[in-house]
Structure 1
Amino acid sequence: MDSVSETGLRPGELSAWFPIAPLTGKPELRLFCLHHGGGGASAYRDWQKLLDPRVEVVPVQLPGREGRFNEPCELSIRRLTERLTEPILHRAGDVPFAFFGHSMGALLSYELTYELGARGVPPQHLALSGFAPPHLTRPAGVRLLPDQEFMAHIVGLEGTPADLVELPELLDLLLPVLRADFTACETYEYVEREALRVPVTVFGGSEDPGVEVPMLRRWADLVATAPYLRVFPGGHFYLQEQREELVRALADRLGFGLVDQK
C-alpha cells in the first residue's frame, strides 16, 4: 500500500477523518459510518462490539467537531465528497467496503458512492438512513432561522436534549456546526444521472417528522435494483433507541451476523 506521502494526504489526515484505531488483523469488510448533521464519529462508538468481528466499523469524523473542533466546517456536500474520496480509498485498502450514513451522512454516502463508482471502486453496499432522496423537493431555509427558532427545530428532531439551549457555553460551540451542516444539505443541488448499480438498503423511523415513509420509498427512483426498506418505530433519531435492531438488520443485509451479547 502506498505511503501517506505518496497518496498526497497530509500527515495525520487519515487519523483525523478516521479517529478510531484500525482493528488488528484483516477484516472481510470495512463499514464506513457517516454521522448526522451536528453529530460526530462518536455516534458509532458502540457499533463494533455489536457486529461480527469480520466487519470493521470505521466511523468518519467530519471537520469542525469533536477531535476536529479547531478546523472550519465544510459548507458543501460536494466539497466534503472531494475531500473524503482519497482518504476513503486509502483507509479501505484492498478490503471490500460499504457505507452507512444517517441524515446528512446518508446524502454524503450517496455522493461518495457515485464518485467511487466513477473511479471503478464502488462500495459493496450502500445503507441510507433518515434522509429523503435528493431529487425530491424539500423545505429549505432552516439554516437561516434566528437562533431560538433554529434550535427549536433541532430539538424537535429529538436528537438534541431540550435543556442544551439553557447552556450558553455548549450552545455557542454547537450552533456553528449545526448551521454549517444545514447549509451543506440545503444548498446541495441534485444532478440527474445514471441509476446507482450497487445494492441499497434504506432505513427510517416511522414517526420521523421530516422524512416520511413514502419519501423513503422514493429512493427506488435513483437505483437500478429496488432497495430494501426497513422502517423502525421512532422519529428522526430512531437509531438511538433501536440501535441493536438496526445493527442486526444492517448485518443481515451485509451478509454477517450480529454478535451474541449473552
Structure 2
Amino acid sequence: MMMMMMIQDDDEKKMDEVTFKKLFPGLQRSGTQIRAPERPNLRVICFANAGNAEDLFTNEGLGERRIVSPLLTFCKNYKAELLSVQLPGRGSRRNEPWDEPKIQTVIREIAPTLANELRDVPYVVVGHSVGCWLAVQLVDVLKSTYGVNEPLHFFLSNFPAPTIEDKDKPWRKNKHLSEREFQDECRRWDVQEVVFTGIWKIYHPLMRADFCLFDSYENDLKEKTFTSDVTAFHGTNDRMISKSMVEKWETMTTGAFALEIVQGGNHLFPLEKESKIDWLKRIVAVIEAKVMPSIVA
C-alpha cells in the first residue's frame, strides 16, 4: 500500500510539472528560474494582450530587434521569478482547442498550479489589455478558493475596470462581424497592418478566439474587491480605451491608486520598443520603491 501511494505521489508530481511547463514555457528562457531548494524573493505573474503570447515578457529578441527588458533585469538581480502565462492556441500550445474561450474557464486551469507557487512567496501581477481582466480574475479565485494572499501590487494597462457596463464598452462583439469588419475592429485596437497580410490566416482564428475573452466575460467582481495597491497605465494615443476607463481601476481597491501616462502610446504600446522599455522601467521603479522594502522588512 505504501509503495502504491509513493508511486501515485510521483505520478501527481510529474503531472504537476507537465502542467507548469505548459502554462509557463518561457520561464527557463527568461533566465529567472529559481530551482529548489532555493525560493525566489518575489514572483511576477504576467498576462499579455489578445493575439499575443507569453514571450511578450520572457523574450528579449535578437540582433537589432533585441529589447533589453528592465523587468527581466530586475528579476535576475533580485532573485525574482517571472511567470508569464501562455494561453492555448499559440506557441507550444498552438494545437490545443481554443474556440470561444471564457475568462473564468481559463482561470480555473491556471489557479491550482499557481496557488502552489504563491502560498509562501510574495507576488505582483502585470496585465496588458484583456490580460488585466485575466489577472484580477485569477487573484480573486486564488484568494476565495485557495486562500492565497492578494499580490503586493497590480500593474494594469490600457483596459477598463471589469465593472464597466455593456453600454459603455467601446468595442463591437466579434462573433457576428464579417472578416472585413473584424479586421476594421482589430485596427481600432491598433493591430499593426502587417498582421493583415499573408500571416492573417494564422492570426485571424487566434484573435477571434482571444477577443471572445472580453466579449463573453460576465463580471462577478464588485468595487473594492481588493486591498492591494494598483498602478494603472494609459497610452495617450489609444483609440479604443479612454483614460477615464482606465481610471476606474481605482474603484476596485481600497489600496493606493496611481495612474501613469504613456505619452504617444497606442493600445498596443508594449509592441513598440521605446514605449515598452519605458513601461517596464516604470513597473520596476514601483516594485523597487514600494514592493521590495516590504519583503525585506
Q: CA deviation at 1:102?
A: 0.5
Instruction: Give the match for residue 116 of structure 1.
Output: 142
Does the alignment pair 1:14 with 2:14?
A: no
Match 1:150 to one of 169, 177, 182: 182
Q: Secondary structure at the match of 2:55?
A: helix
Using a 3 Å threshold, how does the CA distance of structure 1 residues 62 and 89 change in structure 2: closer, same or farther? same
Match 2:269 to one of 232, 238, 250: 238
- Pairing of 1:17-28 with structure 2 (within 5 A): 17-20=23-26, 21=28, 22-23=33-34, 26-28=39-41
Instruction: Give the match for residue 3 of structure 2.
Output: none
> Structure 1: how far apart are the matches of 2:10 and 2:260?
39
| Cα pair 1:100 1:127 within 8 Å, conserved | yes
Match 2:201 to one of 167, 172, 186: 172
> Structure 2: how far apart are the matches of 1:212 and 1:128?
14
Instruction: Give the match for residue 247 of structure 1.
Output: 280
> Structure 2: how far apart are the matches of 1:172 and 1:10?
34
Does the alignment pair 1:72 with 2:97?
A: yes
Q: CA deviation at 1:4?
A: 7.6
Task: Name stretches of at least 5 consecutive residues in structure 1 with no aligned partner.
Answer: 258-262
Q: Secondary structure at the match of 2:234?
A: strand
| Cα pair 1:4 1:11 within 8 Å, conserved | no
> Structure 2: how far apart are the matches of 1:9 and 1:86?
12
TM-score normalised per structure 2:
0.77
Q: Deviation digits for residues 15-48 of structure 1, max 9, x if unmatched?
A: 1100122245543111011111111011112335
Instruction: Give the match for residue 104 of structure 1.
Output: 130
Instruction: Give the match for residue 260 of structure 1.
Output: none
Instruction: Give the match for residue 227 of structure 1.
Output: 257
Using a 3 Å threshold, how does the CA distance of structure 1 residues 224 and 4 change in structure 2: closer, same or farther? farther
Q: CA deviation at 1:105?
A: 0.8
> Structure 1: how far apart are the matches of 2:39 and 2:14?
24
Q: Secondary structure at the match of 1:61?
A: coil
Does the alignment pair 1:184 with 2:213?
A: yes
Q: Deviation digits for residues 86-138 of structure 1, max 9, x if unmatched?
A: 12123446321111011111110010111112232122222111111111121
Matched AA of 2:282 = A
> Structure 2: how far apart are the matches of 1:8 and 1:224?
40
> Structure 2: how far apart are the matches of 1:58 and 1:206?
28
| Cα pair 1:204 1:238 within 8 Å, conserved | no
> Structure 2: how far apart are the matches of 1:144 and 1:42?
31
Using a 3 Å threshold, how does the CA distance of structure 1 residues 105 and 83 change in structure 2: closer, same or farther? same
> Structure 2: how far apart are the matches of 1:4 and 1:97?
28
| Cα pair 1:205 1:231 within 8 Å, conserved | yes
Q: CA deviation at 1:225?
A: 2.3
Using a 3 Å threshold, how does the CA distance of structure 1 residues 5 and 109 change in structure 2: closer, same or farther? farther
Using a 3 Å threshold, how does the CA distance of structure 1 residues 8 and 135 change in structure 2: closer, same or farther? farther
Q: Secondary structure at the match of 1:51?
A: helix
Q: Secondary structure at the match of 2:266?
A: coil
Q: CA deviation at 1:165?
A: 1.8
Identity across matched positions, percent: 24
> Structure 2: how far apart are the matches of 1:154 and 1:89?
34
Instruction: Give the match for residue 39 of structure 1.
Output: 52
- Between structure 1 and structure 2, the one with the greater Rg is 2
TM-score normalised per structure 1:
0.87
| Cα pair 1:52 1:256 within 8 Å, conserved | no
